[in-house]
Amino acid sequence: MDLTKKSHACVRLEKDGRTLVIDPGGYSEEDAAVGADAVLITHEHPDHFDEGRLRAGLDANPAAEVWTLRSVADQVSAAFPGRVHTVGHGDAFTAAGFDVQVHGELHAVIHPDIPRITNVGFLVDEAVFHPGDALTVPGAPVDILLLPVHAPWNKLSEIADYVREVGPRVTYDVHDALLSDLARPTYDRLLGSLAGADHQRLAPGGSTRL
């Protein structure tokens, strides 16, 4: 499987000539979902779900389908009948040849005055976990954790402890558009020494073979 980092929270996974895209949001490239055979969306926030980017991907490939939670599915199902599937915690399905398990139910707390919304994470091929905007610990082993490294709802100590709890072999940074280049070496150094896993990051457009 090949992993390609797109801007912010979006990633592309490719295997056997098929492509799975997770969270093509408003901070990712406008063509982030173009070429996808399947799209997974963790929640409704615009940095994870952008209808224009999703539409571009589904229009480019009339066979492409979407798996997401109800809050997003309700917004796009009418435009793409039969191509949008609603999923929730505990579900499992196959999308474009990838086996996917769904873990988690709620977005992390941003502030007590802000109501929490729903959020799901996706474990792909029993190896790669994208938690969306939550520190969900799936009830299954994780080899590669896509780590939401910087957000309004987290701090570095929580992220380091999250990696320790999940116990992956390696992490790759996602959710990083708000983190300046000046601060990246500090995050790299601290997460590399504290989190207990090999800490990696890719520039947008960078790829690696998993």
CA dihedral for 48, 54, 57, 62, sign (positive or negative): positive
In this structure, what CATH number is given to the domain that contains residue 79? 3.60.15.10
User: Is residue 206 in some structural domain?
Assistant: no
Residue 103 lies in a domain: yes
Tell me, yes or no, whether 12 lies in a domain.
yes
DSSP-derived 3-state class of residue 74: helix
Q: What is the pLDDT of residues 18-71, one digit of tens each?
A: 999 999 999 999 999 999 999 999 999 999 999 999 999 999 999 999 999 999
The residue-averaged pLDDT of 118-146 equals 97
Q: Which residue has the tokens 């905007």?
A: 133
Q: What percent of the chain has pLDDT over 90?
A: 100
pLDDT (mean) for 88-92: 98
Residue 209 within any structural domain of the chain: no
On average, the pLDDT of the chain sits at 97
User: Residue 189's pLDDT band (boundaries 50, 70, 90)?
Assistant: very high
The strand pairing partners of 170, in sequence order, are 144, 198
CB-CB contact of 66 with 83 (8 Å): yes
Q: What is the pLDDT of residue 171?
A: 98
Helix (H, G, I), strand (E, B), or coil: what is residue 69?
A: coil
210 in a domain, yes or no?
no
- Rounded to 10 degrees, the C-alpha dihedral 175/179/181/186 comes to -100
b/e sequence 41-62, b meaning 16+ C-beta within 10 Å: bbbbbebbbbeebbebbbeebe
Task: Kindly give, in sequence order, each residue whose CB lies less than 8 Å from that of residue 91, ignoring residues fewer than 6 positions away.
Answer: 101, 102
pLDDT tens across 3-20, in order?
A: 999 999 999 999 999 999
Domain that holds residue 61: 2-201
Per-residue tokens: 115: 């109501």
What's the pLDDT band for 118 if we cut at 50, 70, 90? very high
Cα-trace Rg, the chain: 16
Listing DSSP states for 185-209 in one string gives HHHHHHHHHHSSSEEE---TT-EEE
For residue 128, being part of any structural domain is answered with yes
In this prediction, residues 97-114 reach a mean pLDDT of 98
Whether 13 maps to a domain, the answer reads yes
User: Considering its fold, how many domains does the chain have in total?
Assistant: 1
31 inside domain:
yes
Per-residue model confidence (pLDDT) at position 65: 98
